[in-house]
Structure 1
Amino acid sequence: METVANCPYLPPAPDRMSWRDLAAWREQQGPEFYAIALAYGQYLWRQGLSARALLAVDRGLYADLTGSEAILADWPLPYRAIGWLVANNPPGVFIGNPRVHYQHLADRVRGERAEQKKWRAWAAWAVVRQVAPDYSADPKHDVAEPTLEQIEDGLTQHGASGEVAVWQALIDEFRQSQTRT
């Protein structure tokens, strides 16, 4: 297998991990779970499993965090990691259609903290739209795609402290890079 660069926006991963590492935290999905989910995403990425890496990072995105956790200083909510994984997916490695993935997640999330998870999924969807605009929407999924302003409002109301700033800085970078090209 070709060597794949580590994602610089995910923590280093141990040499061996499995789904059991996440399952151990099923009842407590706070900062420790967040760290493991991101590391597992890195592990899967390094194994050439891009789609599964994205799913692991999603688990971290959905962790129950307030924004004040120390880990967020080193590893902010993974919007930048999601964009990097999609933009750097090696040719021929399956990643699916991340735009459709987040579109479906946002529209179908249920349960505890559903509004927060919905707006985080839409925020990730917006990141994917910026880094990989050629991915198409699911024409069979009738859903109103929000504007960036609506996503910002949703994160402001339901996100963690500082989350909007992390996401907005990334979106602003994308916008600036597009105006330079």
Structure 2
Amino acid sequence: MQKVGFGGSCHWCTEAIFRSLKGVTAVEQGWISSHGEHSVPSEAVIVHFDRAVIDLKTLVAVHLHTHSCTAQHSMRSKYRSAVYTYNDHQSGEARQAVGELQSEFLEPIITKVLSFGSFKLNEETYLDYYYKNPEKPFCQNIVNPKLQELIRRFPHNISPEREAQLAGLH
């Protein structure tokens, strides 16, 4: 198993997206900081995955297509657009993936590849928020459109365990 971090939008959204993928064995939701200039934590997840089922480039593609990876906005300090890597090889692979995926976007991707620094897990009440509370207005209005984009762009990567739960979102 490997792990990588992702941040870019609300960690409830990001968690739901990655929990919906086959090959992802666990998602930890909370706040990640990196070394250096991005040492202040922002909302993010750590994704544990099986490379034999899903590769890092696919995970990066999912991430870029399910949040505003080209937009600078007033909430960027809270929702830093980043891939948090654990070693130099993973950093190179993530940078290459972002570079290759740039052609799928009209504007420049602002997502940074950063070295993982630290992680703080969210409170138990908020973990797996979407799948515990799919009827909540936030989940209906904010998370569901991102999951619809996931289903539209990556239908073959949806976990069989989640297909029934996500069936009504098409």
Whether the TM-score (by the shorter chain) exceeds 0.5 is: no
Larger radius of gyration: 1
| Larger relative strand fraction | 2
Which gives a bigger RCO, structure 1 or 2 (Cα 8 Å, sep 6+)? 2
State the TM-score, normalized to the length of structure 1.
0.29
State the TM-score, normalized to the length of structure 2.
0.31
| Larger relative helix fraction | 1
